[in-house]
């Protein structure tokens, strides 16, 4: 089985100032519950955002002469267990946006297809990509196979 481990996001040299790092940590720990660690990678001071300490999923933020540019809707999907969890996170993003207008939110109508409804919104804050926060509701329960 292949799993997501990490994604490195690069910024222009000098962009990851202490103030910017503090803002990034504030949002992603407050809203998403991620943890953060300052780390040294190949002689560079980086910021590591860990999504879940049990799965080793993380984002590594580093500076590079050729930083990531994502002017469109490039995104990383964050699958939630329920519609209620998506709505809770959207509310948290909106509350944070009231104190910091750099939070960008795109709300979408449910994407309904035969057998599944995707409930989602996009959020972007100081990182060069959007996050697609979503739940997938199946019309019928998906059988779980267990081998004895």
Tell me the domains of the chain and their CATH numbers. 1-67 (3.10.180.10), 69-142 (3.10.180.10)
* Dist CA 47 CA 33 (whole Å): 16
Verdict on whether the full-model pTM lies above 0.85 = yes
> What was the pLDDT predicted at 2?
83
User: Tell me: the pLDDT tens digits for 78-124?
Assistant: 999 999 999 999 999 999 999 999 999 999 999 999 999 999 999 99
CA angle 104, 106, 109 (to 5 degrees): 165
Computed from CA positions of residues 4, 136, 50, 132, in that sequence, does the dihedral angle turn out positive or negative? positive
**Phi, then psi, of 119 in degrees rounded to 5:** -110, 120
Q: Kindly report the number of other CB atoms within 10 A of residue 58's CB atom.
A: 22
User: Tell me: the pLDDT tens digits for 18-72?
Assistant: 999 999 999 999 999 999 999 999 999 999 999 987 888 999 999 999 999 999 9
**Phi, then psi, of 104 in degrees rounded to 5:** -110, 130
Nearest to 96 by CA among 21, 5, 27, 20: 27
Q: Which 3 state secondary structure label does DSSP give 19?
A: helix
* Dist CA 48 CA 89 (whole Å): 21
- Please say whether the beta carbons of 48 and 36 come within 8 A: yes
- Please say whether the beta carbons of 49 and 58 come within 8 A: yes
User: Tell me: the pLDDT tens digits for 137-146?
Assistant: 998 765 555 5
> What was the pLDDT predicted at 82?
96
DSSP 103-139: -EEEE---EEETTEEEEEEEEE-SSSSEEEEEEEEES
């Amino acid at each position: 089985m292949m799993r997501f481990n990490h994604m490195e996001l690069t910024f222009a040299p000098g962009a990851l100032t202490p103030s910017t790092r503090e803002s990034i940590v504030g949002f992603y720990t407050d809203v998403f519950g991620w943890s953060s660690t300052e780390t040294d990678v190949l002689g560079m001071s980086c910021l590591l955002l860990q999504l879940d300490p049990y799965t080793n999923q993380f984002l590594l933020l580093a500076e590079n002469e050729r930083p990531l540019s994502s002017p469109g809707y490039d995104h990383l999907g964050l699958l939630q267990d329920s519609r209620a969890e998506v709505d809770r996170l959207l509310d948290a993003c909106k509350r944070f946006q009231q104190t910091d207008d750099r939070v960008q939110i795109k709300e979408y109508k449910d994407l309904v297809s035969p057998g599944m409804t995707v409930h989602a919104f996009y959020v972007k804050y100081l990182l060069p990509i959007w996050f697609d926060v979503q739940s997938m509701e199946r019309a019928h329960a998906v059988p779980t196979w267990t081998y004895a």
